[in-house]
A and B are shown apart, each in its own frame.
Chain A
Amino acid sequence: MDMRILAKISRQACAALVGVSLVFLVGGCGKDDQSVGENGEAVRVVTIGHAGPLTGPIAHLGKDNENGVRLAIQEANEAGMVIAGENIRFEMVSEDDEGNPQKGTVVAQKIVDAKVAGVIGHLNSGTTIPASKIYHDAGVAQISPSATNVDYTNQGYNTAFRVMANDAQQGVVLGKFAVGKLNAKTIAVIDDRSAYGKGLADQFELAAKAAGGEIITREFTDMSKTDFTAILTRIKGMNPDLVFCGCLDSQTGPMMKQIRNLGLTSTFLSGDGCQTKQFLTLAGEEGEGAYASSPGVPLASMPDGPAFTEKYTKEFKQEIQLYAPYAYDATNTLIAAMVKADSFDSAVYLPVLAEIKHQGVSATVQFDEKGDIKGGAISLYKVTDGQWEYIETVGGGD
């Protein structure tokens, strides 16, 4: 081989080394997990991981989840936990997965490296599924507050749990509700082509058909869009009884406005991504009469619900965005399992977590053999006078 080429190649290799050695410059400084409490007694620091998109288009939801986890941890610390005879202080390691599956695995590894006792996350199904493999391989318990894709708990991992009803559970309720209660014979379905939107819309379609409804069209949009006039006009031409959308509030808000502006009078129904305060302000007066579902039972009807809402708004000076109660419940469930097992070692408390029954603010958390929430109650709401008015709860119960 020609010397010059070898020299050239070795120079590339050197370049690689230089690049990588940058990494060393930063060096994650390992934290001492023994510290001293206020009264001088030894306190063991136990970390809980959180991952979600903290930048990008749905960063507000990621931050919302993080806040939920933070609140739960604060409360646990204020209450003062003793596990395995030691005083415990919980700390959160929160990482930004950018809603990107590849970054999701990187931060999952990072969270595992940080020797966390358990993980709350991720937010999207797209990041939760690849990350779950890393948590599973490391034997770390993972509770996703909001990933609803059926696949997540179908992989046979004993470390994967979720506190929210999955797409199948929610889709069935919505489909039956649309045909049975709202008397929709002809239905137009829209999804935003995200894993969430597609999953929910697919399950809704199946259930609505099974209940005797007719799906007259399936339309699609994109998470980056706010203009839906083209597909809505098409739908208007078919004049369905009901329009169903598997999208988040940042889309259903403007969509609702456009629906009414176009003179489309169909009933509007959507999933949990829409049942938010944000939808009410975005849709304004045009949001009146819209229906949406939400997993669990209304916060206000749960024993600790109103208190949670109040604490959250006081602490973070903003409204609950969407999934914070579920993140809060997930964290508390995790902590409850640790306390019950008297260990923060995943291997010890995982079986306890699988059997646990925890009274949360969104629902009573209990897992089935796959790690899905048992019962998976779904509540339905309607916008009346600019507020979400509770209609009924389907499923759930003990």
Chain B
Amino acid sequence: MTGHFISRLSILKRDRRAVWVGYVLVAVGLALLPFVVDNTVGRTWVRIIDFALIYAMLALGLNIVVGFAGLLDLGYIAFYAVGAYTWALLASPQFGLHLPFWLILPIGAGVTALFGVMLGAPTLRLRGDYLAIVTLGFGEIIRIFLNNLDHPINITNGPIGINRIDPISVGGLDLTRTHQFFGIEFSGTHLYYYVLLGLVMLTIFICVRLEDSRIGRAWIAIREDEVAAQSMGINTRNVKLLAFAMGATFGGVAGGLFASFQGFVSPESFVLLESIMVLCMVVLGGMGHVSGVVVGALLLAVLPEVLRSTASPMQEQLFGKVIVDPESLRMLLFGLALILVMLIRPTGLWPSPIRKREFERTD
């Protein structure tokens, strides 16, 4: 394991130029990706990748709470919902407010951070699965409120949801419409891809920096042994609340982007199953490991869509005809995939080296 790490370092030292070439290639690849995808497999997949990027942000946020600080949160989608509704209320005909995105983004982040602390505070004494069920409860409470705050005063439109949410617009440029730059046509889905990619990159950067910071170490200490962490002088209350707030903020920003991208929010998008899905992304990818979590998120967001288009051709090839409806089979295979991956790689697809080592040692 260590050998692998050292060899990687030495490659870095050996040829910095080669590394830079690598960066440029990756950057060009990512920049061209929507066009390649659009022209080979269709625009749907650009949209799917956009949503996958939103999920990646969500998973990274949850990873701070679950992966770094070890606090099992089953209601994480609530922050996504709060972020989405904050955006929807501040930039839609609902209240006639149309704030610009550079104002909503920090407001949304602030509001969700506040919610993170509010929901985190009462749960500080709880451990493990008690925490899980309380956060689950909070997640449901938020959804139920969003679903019912149309009466007696109409705030959220209730189950009907909020429609015609403003898209991000830069200098009068509406990002959901198709625009031409340098003679190349950029559709809304493409433009959002770049916005989302940038934000995911930023999130990754923050997460990676956090992990190695004083705070990150404190989170990991709490995860490994709360009592020991406390006796080492870590203020576990503040550090835990910070984890909730940070995680919530990422979720909130992701939610805001979701609302503006889709132009419509309703409580149906924030059900418990979504929380569970994001948790699956974190655990399946490799809890506590930023790269792993990103892979997990992209994989689980894309997999159901891949299964959607392969479920019937696969049957045709295997049995010569479609026996089971593709849509029934899709989720079945998805469930099966979750089980198999965990059985084969219990620490996740791409666990952090330390965690993997620990697991192998104790076994």
Contact = CB atoms under 8 A, between A and B. Distances in A.
Direct contact of A and B (CB under 8 A): yes
A105 B309 CA distance: 16
- For chain B, the bracket of interface size reads 35 or more
A218 to B, nearest CB: 8
Given A13-B201, A23-B302, A112-B43, A100 B269 contact: yes
Interface string A100-112: 1110011001101
A12 B294 contact: yes
Contacts of B204: 9, 12
A126 B33 contact: no
Which of B19, B147, B150, B291: most chain A Cβ within 10 A?
B291
Given A10-B22, A13-B26, A129-B163, A20 B298 contact: yes
A101 B30 contact: no
A16 B158 contact: no
B264 interface: yes
Contact of A102 (B19, B29, B258, B295): B258
Contacts of A114: 42
A28 B262 contact: no
B290 interface: yes
A79 interface: no
A230 interface: no
B43 A125 contact: no
Interface string B321-354: 0000101101100000000000000000010000
Given A7-B12, A102-B258, A102-B269, A19 B158 contact: no
Contacts of A155: 163-164
A14 B294 contact: no
Interface in A104-153: 105-106, 109-110, 112-114, 125-126, 129-130, 133, 149, 151
Given A99-B268, A102-B258, A23 B48 contact: yes
Contact of A6 (B23, B33, B164): B23
A37 B9 CA distance: 64
Contacts of A197: 159
B110 interface: no
Given A3-B12, A55-B331, A101 B264 contact: yes
A6 B302 CA distance: 26
A194 interface: yes
Nearest to A102: B269
Contact of A7 (B19, B148, B263, B328): B19
Contacts of A95: 308
A17 B161 contact: no
Contacts of A96: 308, 327, 330
Interface string B2-13: 000000110010
Which of A95, A105, A151, A220: most chain B Cβ within 10 A?
A105
A129 B264 contact: yes
B207 to A, nearest CB: 9
Contacts of B9: 4
B298 A16 contact: yes
Interface string A60-97: 00000000000000000000000000000000000110
B297 to A, nearest CB: 8
B299 interface: yes
Interface residues of A, number: 56
A8 B19 CA distance: 12
Interface string B38-69: 00111111011101100010000000000000
A22 B205 CA distance: 24
A130 B298 contact: no
Contacts of A4: 9, 12
A193 B33 CA distance: 41
A126 B327 contact: no
B263 A15 contact: no
Contacts of A105: 47, 262
Contacts of B51: 102, 106
A15 B291 contact: yes
A303 to B, nearest CB: 33
B124 interface: no
29 contacts: A3-B19, A9-B201, A9-B204, A9-B205, A9-B208, A12-B294, A15-B294, A16-B30, A19-B52, A19-B295, A23-B41, A23-B49, A55-B330, A99-B268, A101-B161, A101-B262, A101-B264, A101-B266, A102-B258, A105-B47, A110-B42, A110-B44, A129-B161, A133-B263, A155-B163, A155-B164, A193-B147, A195-B161, A220-B148
Given A8-B290, A19-B302, A28-B41, 6 more contacts: A9-B204, A16-B30, A26-B306, A55-B331, A193-B148, A198-B159
Interface of B: 8-9, 12, 16, 19, 22-23, 26-27, 29-30, 33, 37, 40-45, 47-49, 51-52, 56, 147-148, 150-151, 158-161, 163-164, 189, 200-201, 204-205, 208-209, 258, 262-266, 268-269, 290-291, 294-295, 298-299, 302, 305-306, 308-310, 325, 327-328, 330-331, 350
Interface of A: 3-20, 22-28, 54-55, 95-96, 99-102, 105-106, 109-110, 112-114, 125-126, 129-130, 133, 149, 151, 155, 193-195, 197-199, 218, 220
